Amino acid sequence: MMPINLAVQNFSLTSLSGEVQVVKFVNALLEVAVKERASDVHIEPLEKMTRVRLRVDGFLCTAVEVPRNVHNAIVSRIKIISGMDIAEKRLPQDGRVQLEVFERKVDLRISTLPVINGEKVVIRILDKSQTLLELENLDFTKGNLEIYKRLINLPHGIILLTGPTGSGKSTTLYATLQKLNSVTKNIITIEDPIERTIDGINQIAVNTKAGLTFATGLRSIVRQDPNIIMVGEIRDAETARIAVQAALTGHLVFSTLHTNSAVGAVTRLLDIGIEPFLLAAALRGVVAQRLVRRICIDCQKQYETSEMELTALGCDTCESFKLNKGSGCENCNHTGYKGRIAVQEVLEITPVLQKAIIQGAEENVLLKLASDAHFTSLSDDCREKVLTGKTSVEELMRIAYC
């Protein structure tokens, strides 16, 4: 992957001296990050220099390296704009600020961490100017979309989205809430933090310092006559129990969990103490999701598949066929990829699975029962998107082992 070019900015990267130059550098860095569609900026103090990297389409790439002696000035500038204590360098800090970059409102969530050579800074970029995606534009296959739409239109129960950080769970949740939003429904969310605002929905931000956690907030929400509740994340047994109780008393509850698969969400909730018969009665469905890189449409070309790729695709035939790949161009920073698409597995809790959950079936048994009912796994969904030219075998292999 080629480094991202910062040389177009009107300052010297080798001699950042003076407050004005540092301010210009930070401003230019944020502009480049937004332009390159970066989700995060990493500013890392190394022994001999400071390295700045951007996370673009899930992968870190070097943007620039600057002299080590200006690191503290850069960190101080970032602390000032985000409301942190510039004198405190021994403890981690968190801050946030909203800026306008290229006439686009961006929300920056900033975290500092003391490491061996100084303070490491990570800036999470949330572009609030981007419109919310429609459910139909979230790359669900036709079959998975039909199942998911059926689940979200149920009158009550829990629907979970699972996957690692940065797998698009929040995007799917917001698209879902937007789809369900109407004047006839009372929708309330509790989030940490609120990433996007939706007109007509009551959104609450977690405030742990004031005692407002997911659990305490959820207890209050159920007394607000809600139809639909969205809990940003189930982090503990107390939140899980209240969410289950809310679902059993006639509410439709959405939330997220950090598990590797849809079936894994079932065993995770059982492990944290939810009774099997309660979980079976409350849980309606689980969506596991990942993001894979999309092949750049400006430089895509066809090529003959290798034997190893045929094996990865599960093809029985020995005959090679053509797939798409990106050859690399300026529009994709010579990576062959630009943007990302989602791959999903949608698990509907059928009566057969409910019975297995009550009986304490292990994860592999639940997966076998789901597969018998034509459940499409993450790998299968990604494989279909490789065959339709949206992503590559390389991305399929990455998903298979994550």
pLDDT 10s digit of each residue in the chain, 402 long? 445 554 434 444 445 556 788 998 999 999 999 999 999 999 999 999 999 999 999 999 999 999 999 999 999 999 999 999 999 999 999 999 999 888 888 999 999 999 999 999 999 999 877 778 899 999 999 999 999 999 999 999 999 999 998 899 999 999 999 999 999 999 999 999 888 889 999 999 999 989 999 999 999 999 999 999 999 999 999 999 999 999 999 999 999 999 999 999 999 999 999 999 999 999 999 999 999 999 999 999 999 988 888 888 887 666 678 899 999 999 998 999 999 999 999 999 999 999 999 999 999 999 999 999 889 999 999 999 999 999 999 999 988 765
> How many CB atoms are closer than 10 A to CB 219?
15
- Name the amino acid, one letter, at 323: L
The beta strands (E) that lie in 92-194 are given as 93-101, 104-115, 118-127, 157-162, 187-191
Strands (E), 237-326: 252-257, 283-295, 300-304, 322-326
CA distance 343 to 290: 5
Give the model's pLDDT for residue 19. 79
What are the distances in angstroms from CA 205 to CA 169, 196, 208, 239, 245?
A: 18, 11, 10, 15, 22
- Whether the ω angle into residue 193 lies within 30 degrees of 0, i.e. cis, is yes
Residues 6 or more apart in contact with residue 276 via CB below 8 angstroms:
270, 357, 358, 359, 360
Is-contact 271 234, C-beta < 8 A?
Answer: no
Dist. CA 133–CA 201, nearest whole Å? 17
Give the other-Cβ count within 10 Å of 89's Cβ. Answer: 15
3-state secondary structure of 257: strand
Indicate the SS3 state at residue 196: coil
The whole-number pLDDT of residue 370 equals 94
Within 13 Å of residue 389, how many CA atoms lie on the same side as its CB?
12
The answer to whether the CB of 11 falls within 8 A of the CB of 21 is yes
- For a pLDDT cut of 90, what percent of the chain falls above it? 80
Q: What is the pLDDT of residue 401?
A: 64
pLDDT at position 10, please? Answer: 42
Is residue 75 a contact partner of residue 112, using CB atoms and an 8 Å limit?
A: yes
DSSP run (H or E) holding 348: strand 337-348
pLDDT for res 317: 63
pLDDT of residue 17: 57
Q: Quote the pLDDT of residue 315.
A: 79
The dihedral formed by the CA atoms of 33, 39, 43 and 44, expressed in degrees to the nearest 10:
-140
198-250 pLDDT per residue, tens: 999 999 999 998 999 999 999 999 999 999 999 999 999 999 999 999 999 99
Return the half-sphere exposure (C-beta side, CA atoms, 13 A cut-off) of residue 326. 25
Q: Which helix (H) or strand (E) holds 53?
A: strand 49-56
Neighbours of 237 (CB within 10 A): 14
